[in-house]
Amino acid sequence: MRIQEHPILGTYDRGEIVSFTFDGKVLEGFEGEPIAMALKNAGVMVHRYTKKEHKPRGIFCAIGRCTDCVMIVNGKPNVRTCITPLEAGMEICTQYGVSAEPSNGGEKK
Amino acid sequence: MKRYDMIIVGAGPAGLSAAIESAKRGMHVIVYDENAKPGGQLFKQIHKFFGSKEHKAKIRGFRIGDELLAEASALGVEVVLNAIVIGLFSEKEVTVKIDEHVEHVKGDTVLIATGASENMVTFPGWTLPGVIGAGAAQTMMNLHGTLPGKRVLMLGSGNVGLVVSFQLMQAGCEVVALADAAPRIGGYGVHASKVSRCGVPFYLSHTIVSADGDDHVTGVTIAEVDKNWQIIKGTEKHFDVDTICLAVGLSPMSKLCDMAGCQMEDNPSKADFVPTVNKYGETSISGIYAAGDVSGIEEASSAMIEGRIAGIAAAAKLGFITEEECNIEIEKQESALEGLRQGMFAPGMRGKIITETDEGVEVSQNLLKKGFVTEEEIERFPGVTHSEGIHPVIECTQNIPCNPCQDACSKHCIKIGSNITALPAVNPEAKCTGCGMCVASCSGQAIFLVNEDCGDGTAEITLPYEFLALPQKGDKGIALNRNGQKICEAEVVNVRTAKAFDHTNLLTMKVPKEFALNARFFKKEA
Amino acid sequence: MNDRNRNIGEYIPADDDNIIVCRCEEITKGEIRRAVHDGMFTLTEIRRYLRTGMGLCQGQTCTKLVKSIVAKELGIRPSDLEPATGRAPMRPIEMYILAQDGEDMK
């Protein structure tokens, strides 16, 4: 889902390819791009499941406003992945509810 | 506590323009922006802007952003990024969160240029991953080189919906349909036409019934609505899509003005809750200004002028320039702003039904309902004429503030006049040389060069082409009409690319001459 | 305009009552409509009663949606409803950062 060449913008300045983990699985992305973009390009759509209704959420506004794309990043919950730059070795986890504990906010299913 | 002559909240088109004007006059200015990059939404705008030269017309939005940043930095304007203004208190004390602490600063003047946020609509499934705002689509494609999806349905036919639909196709997505609950297209007809000729069907008076999918969007159902916006049963249409893009308007982000105690008004012509400002952009609180979308939703071109006015006015307030100087400067800016606020899409025209142009030409109803002007309708517009040999055909049918085509033609084939919202007319006396500058300079991609009869039973049509892969001379394919329907075979006889065209390639195709008046797009046969 | 004594009728359930309006706090359209009939006639009251717009995003997405639902339920124009009070912080901010504010001034 990467745009290789754009008719107006040409090619994009991208960072180094780095590895990170998503729920323990090793994925790759470009350093410095928003975490959400790296995930999107790796085919990850669901960033979290909500607290009350356990419904999936993902990218919505992509500019850090709606907070729908929040995930657990390096153990810290509620990190807006659409505006947080990807770093090598980041541990990114699906968030359940509003806290870092998978069981606390209510698990999926 | 640090003091500044002017504190600007928001480094978008309005904020940067104000910073430039005030710094130019010797003021010590700081600009805070909550984002990691300055420029507001300008760097996501890859289309050529409308207006005239003074409004930076025919320059693409992101290049305007570059220009503003360069100008501001040359003047020593300090732009602090990732700086979130969290409060504006009495005596113009601003609290701003930078890194992990809160700074307190004071401004002798403050400009609030926080812009707008996207409106949303609700429907079953609207919280599913894959339902995104149009701004999100632009951010993903134009800043991060990432496709939002493969197959997209766009909801909203305002300029944002139309422009982003086109951008989605430029990036390589398929736009399966464009829907809007309103009975008429809200944005510029020229934007609709360039989407329509690529084959995107328009569904006006249609809304989203539901988004389907368990963990992410797999489809969408739309249906027709009646006059009371109620869904008409039995009119449902389903599309397999992975992305639903919402472009249903913007609202001013005016909360900071409200908390500062500025007098607010709920003004429908400005699209919501805005601070009341005078002609200098000053709010009810002396020394606090508001400019750009925060004081009423308009185009970025207007935001830049409003910003300039506020910057100049603040300079006069603090004595950096005389009042006389200020008034002369502001008068110039105001006339530029006036120019943009004319025509069918002027702020005061919101919601009004227009039946004819300023010239008295009946508007195309098909354009408003389907996104394209029919072959019969197009003939009545002054830009559409017939003559021997190559000549421009200008399919610009609404009074919008834009005139680069007039200056683009060195042979004076195109006339708009001093009123920039007038419809462009073709001058029958002047001789077109086929240089193509008008085609490339039309921000609405509404100009074609046509040779209706090449003498061998064929006609040649030169059209603006901003997609990849760029067809090559000799390529065979099909010609599409204004509705994006295949009408005949076509062969590419020339493809011109030039720096002056700024990525608008000129593709010339040959078609049987009976299709000269309706072949308007080329598609390589799959 | 927004007279509390007037009769706005009974709450009538609708098909779309279960649609989420406030995405962060997961408040539905039905809950908002019912709250109006419970006597919440202003946006500030709705906000306190239901927590709409008080989640992580601080009302960035739902403010206008809630306003139009409440106005419709009350039979008035959205512009006749006074917006909820705007106050600092304008954006979500972590408590420890706010707590440190002013330390350096001591």
Give the 3-state secondary structure of residue B231: strand
Q: Which residues of chain A have a CB within 8 Å of the CB of C26?
A: 50-53, 55
Which residue of A3, A51, A65 to mutate against B (max B Cβ within 10 Å)?
Answer: A3
pLDDT in tens, B234-255: 999 999 999 999 999 999 999 9
Q: Is the predicted pLDDT of residue A104 greater than 60, yes or no?
A: no
CA-nearest residue to A33 within chain B is B144
Q: B469: cis peptide before it, omega within 30°?
A: yes
Report, in this order, helix, strand and coil percent for chain B, each rounded to 5.
Answer: 25, 30, 45
Q: Which residues of chain C have a CB within 8 Å of the CB of B82?
A: none
Residue B511: both structure tokens together: 């078609």
- The C-alpha R_g of chain C, in whole angstroms, comes to 16
**How far, in Å, CA of C99 to CA of C106, rounded?**
13
Contacting subunits of B (3+ beta carbon pairs below 8 A) = A, C
Write the secondary structure of B177-209 as one string of H (helix), E (strand) and C (coil): EEEECCCCCCCCHHHHHHHHCCCCCEEECEEEE
Instruction: Give the amino acid at B66.
Output: D
Which residue of B59, B140, B466 to mutate against A (max A Cβ within 10 Å)?
Answer: B140
Share of residues in chain B with pLDDT > 70 (%): 100
Q: Which residues of chain C have a CB within 8 Å of the CB of A67?
A: 24, 55-57, 60, 92
Closest CA to B182 of B206, B166, B201, B202: B206
Residue B232 DSSP code? P
Q: Is the predicted pLDDT of residue B75 greater than 70, yes or no?
A: yes
Are B101 and C100 contacting, i.e. CB atoms less than 8 angstroms apart? yes
Pairwise CB contact (< 8 Å): C97 & B117? no
Q: Measure C6 CA to nearest chain B CA, in Å.
A: 24
Residue A75: both structure tokens together: 């153990």
Are B509 and B461 contacting, i.e. CB atoms less than 8 angstroms apart? yes
Instruction: Please provide the DSSP assignment of chain A as one string.
Output: -B-S-BTTTBSPP---EEEEEETTEEEEEETTSBHHHHHHHTT----EE-TTT--EE--SSSSSSS-TTEEEETTEEEEETTTSBP-TT-EEE-EETTSS-TTTT----
The beta-carbon neighbor of C26 closest among A52, A61, A78 is: A52
- The C-alpha R_g of chain B, in whole angstroms, comes to 24
Give the 3-state secondary structure of residue C83: coil
pLDDT in tens, B321-378: 999 999 999 999 999 999 999 999 998 888 889 999 999 999 999 999 999 999 999 9
Pairwise CB contact (< 8 Å): A67 & C26? no
Q: Measure B102 CA to nearest chain C CA, in Å.
A: 6
**How far, in Å, CA of B14 to CA of B68, rounded?**
10
Among all chains, which residue has been given the structure tokens 């409106």? B119
Among all chains, which residue has been given the structure tokens 């919505």? A60
**How far, in Å, CA of B382 to CA of B396, rounded?**
9
**β-bridge pairing B202-204 and B174-180:** parallel
The beta-carbon neighbor of B171 closest among A6, A14, A68 is: A6
Pairwise CB contact (< 8 Å): C88 & B95? yes
Measured distance between the N- and C-terminal CA atoms of chain B, rounded to whole angstroms: 66
Domain ranges (residues) in chain A: 17-96
pLDDT in tens, B82-98: 999 999 999 999 999 99
Pairwise CB contact (< 8 Å): A63 & B467? no
Give the 3-state secondary structure of residue B513: helix
Partner A contacted by B140 (CB < 8 A)? yes
* The pLDDT value given to residue C106: 57
Are B95 and B104 contacting, i.e. CB atoms less than 8 angstroms apart? yes
**How far, in Å, CA of B491 to CA of B440, rounded?**
21
Mean pLDDT on B99-103:
93
* Vertex A85: Cα angle to A65 and A17 (nearest 5): 140
Closest CA to B488 of B523, B450, B455: B523
Q: Is the predicted pLDDT of residue A109 greater than 50, yes or no?
A: no
**How far, in Å, CA of A59 to CA of B245, rounded?**
12
**How far, in Å, CA of A25 to CA of B232, rounded?**
47
Q: Measure C7 CA to nearest chain A CA, in Å.
A: 33
The beta-carbon neighbor of A66 closest among C20, C26, C61 is: C61
Closest CA to B292 of B39, B80, B116: B116
pLDDT in tens, B116-171: 999 999 999 999 999 999 999 999 999 999 999 999 999 999 999 999 999 999 99
Q: Which fold has domain B120-248?
A: FAD/NAD(P)-binding domain (3.50.50)
Residue C11 DSSP code? -
Q: Is the predicted pLDDT of residue B19 greater than 90, yes or no?
A: yes
CA-nearest residue to C61 within chain A is A66
Closest CA to C55 of C86, C32, C98, C21: C21
* pLDDT mean across residues, chain A: 93
Q: Which architecture, in CATH terms, is B2-117+251-340? A: 3-Layer(bba) Sandwich (3.50)
Q: In this complex, how many residue pairs, one in chain A and one in chain B, have their CB atoms less than 8 Å apart?
A: 100
Polymer length of chain B: 526
Share of residues in chain B with pLDDT > 90 (%): 96
* The pLDDT value given to residue B350: 82
**How far, in Å, CA of B225 to CA of B207, rounded?**
7
pLDDT in tens, C35-70: 999 999 999 999 999 999 999 998 989 999 999 999
* The pLDDT value given to residue B157: 98
Pairwise CB contact (< 8 Å): B171 & A37? no
pLDDT in tens, B422-436: 999 999 999 999 999
CA-nearest residue to A66 within chain C is C57
Q: Is the predicted pLDDT of residue A86 greater than 60, yes or no?
A: yes
Q: Is the predicted pLDDT of residue A105 greater than 70, yes or no?
A: no
* The pLDDT value given to residue B233: 97
Give the 3-state secondary structure of residue C95: helix
Instruction: Please provide the DSSP assignment of B411-464 as one string.
Output: T--EE--SSTTSPPEE-TTS------HHHHH-TT--EEEEES--SSSEEEEEEE
Mean pLDDT on B387-402:
97
Numbered residues of chain C with Cβ closer than 8 Å to any chain A Cβ: 20, 23-24, 26, 55-57, 60-61, 92
Q: Which residues of chain B have a CB within 8 Å of the CB of C78?
A: 266
* The pLDDT value given to residue A103: 52
Share of residues in chain A with pLDDT > 90 (%): 91
Q: Which residues of chain C have a CB within 8 Å of the CB of B255?
A: 86, 90
Q: In this complex, how many residue pairs, one in chain A and one in chain C, have their CB atoms less than 8 Å apart?
A: 30
Q: Who's near B122: CB < 8 A, 6+ residues apart?
A: C16, C19, C20, C21, C29, C65
Of the pLDDT bands very low, low, confident and very high (cuts 50, 70, 90), residue B419 is very high
Mean pLDDT on B216-224:
98
Q: What is the dihedral of CA B401, B405, B411, B417, to 10 degrees?
A: -10
**How far, in Å, CA of C37 to CA of B499, rounded?**
64
Q: Is the predicted pLDDT of residue C105 greater than 70, yes or no?
A: no
Pairwise CB contact (< 8 Å): A65 & C60? yes
The beta-carbon neighbor of A57 closest among B127, B150, B172 is: B127
pLDDT in tens, B246-297: 999 999 999 999 999 999 998 877 878 999 999 999 999 999 999 999 999 9
Q: Which residues of chain C have a CB within 8 Å of the CB of A50?
A: 26
Pairwise CB contact (< 8 Å): A65 & C92? no
pLDDT in tens, C4-33: 888 899 999 999 999 999 999 999 999 999
CATH class label, A17-96:
alpha beta
pLDDT in tens, A28-44: 999 999 999 999 999 99
**How far, in Å, CA of A47 to CA of A72, rounded?**
9
Share of residues in chain C with pLDDT > 70 (%): 96
* The pLDDT value given to residue C1: 61
Residues of chain B with CATH 3.50.50.60: 2-117+251-340, 120-248
